[in-house]
Amino acid sequence: MKTVTTQEREEALSDCAAASALPYNDDEMSQPSSEGIEDTENSESEKDSCASQEQVASEVNTVGWGDVNPPSRQKTFSYALYRFFKRSTDIIVSALVMLVFCWLFFILTLAVKLSDGGKVIYKHKRVGKGGKTIYISKFRSMRENADKIEDCLTPEQLEEYKREYKVDRDPRITPLGGFLRRTSLDELPQFWDVFVGRISFVGPRPLVEDELKSKYGEYAEKLVSVKPGLIGWWAASGRSNTVYETGERQQKELYYVDHCSILFDLKIIFKTVIEVIRRDGAK
């Protein structure tokens, strides 16, 4: 067996180091390992996530948003009792509303169907508690294929939608749909969503995934630590008059997460009734 001297070993290591510095020409050699790919992708994903969160923090005033983590009170016994009472109330109230107003459900179903012959109920994919995917039901207030926003909106309206996830004087809304939205009657089918537990009667507005990530950044986990609601503190404060761009909408939704209670829920219900009567901010 040939003995490898220290000098030969050092020369071999030097050759390997020089070779590793050369650009890869061979196809197989040019392919990094799968482990390396995963590390790179994870690193890029983390960078994108951090960049997105930093962008939210830099572009929006986060004063009043509270701590970035879900409140510790969610682990207390008193909070568990509040959740039990709230869920019991959700079941009872939603069942009573659907029973008492079944005639109104029938009339609105017929009206939407006869208006243009399209689907009566529209289901939208949203993010529920804990990041779970849920589907929210509404009486359809827009024309068919309204999801193809690029074909329905002007460049200015599209920019507004990307900024606030809503459009003033939205051309996709039907005449009947405009009435349903102003009176909030389009949301009546959501009482079924409350009854089965997808959402609560009171809570933050359920959001689409892109909206949640882009508008809340690192606060997203905190927002979805509670069940979204049919009505909420933001909705009771003038809806369309409180926008993402200033950070005020996020502040109101996150304030609810930090301070939700039976008394606060009752206050929100009372304010919502006033807003519906005044028809203020519902667009």
The answer to whether residues 230 and 237 touch, using CB atoms and an 8 Å cutoff, is no
Q: Report residue 235's pLDDT band, with 50, 70 and 90 as the boundaries.
A: confident
Contacts of 263 (CB under 8 A, 6+ apart): none
Mean pLDDT of all residues in 239-250: 79
Q: Report residue 16's pLDDT band, with 50, 70 and 90 as the boundaries.
A: very low
Mean pLDDT of all residues in 241-259: 88
256: left (phi over 0), alpha (psi -120 to 50) or beta: alpha
Query: Does the pLDDT value for residue 9 go beyond 70?
Result: no
User: Distance of alpha carbon 22 from its chain centroid, rounded?
Assistant: 48
Query: Does the pLDDT value for residue 240 go beyond 50?
Result: yes
The predicted pLDDT at position 159 comes to 74
Mean pLDDT of all residues in 88-105: 96
Mean pLDDT of all residues in 113-131: 91
Q: Report residue 56's pLDDT band, with 50, 70 and 90 as the boundaries.
A: low
The predicted pLDDT at position 36 comes to 47
Residues in the chain: 283
pLDDT digits (tens, 9 = 90+) for 141-157: 887 766 666 656 766 77
Mean pLDDT of all residues in 240-256: 85
Instruction: Using a pLDDT cut of 90, give the percent of the chain over it.
Output: 47
pLDDT digits (tens, 9 = 90+) for 153-190: 766 777 767 676 666 777 777 888 889 988 889 999 99
226/203 Cα distance (integer angstroms): 7
For the entire predicted model, the pTM comes to 0.71
Sequence ranges of the domains in the chain: 1-61, 67-278
Q: What would the two tokens of residue 127 be?
A: 């993010």
The angle formed by the CA atoms of residues 243, 247 and 252, to the nearest 5 degrees, is: 80
The predicted pLDDT at position 120 comes to 92
Query: Does the pLDDT value for residue 280 go beyond 90?
Result: no
Instruction: Using a pLDDT cut of 70, give the percent of the chain over it.
Output: 68
What 3-state class would DSSP assign to 124?
A: strand
The predicted pLDDT at position 162 comes to 63
Q: What's at 226, amino acid-wise? A: V
The predicted pLDDT at position 5 comes to 44
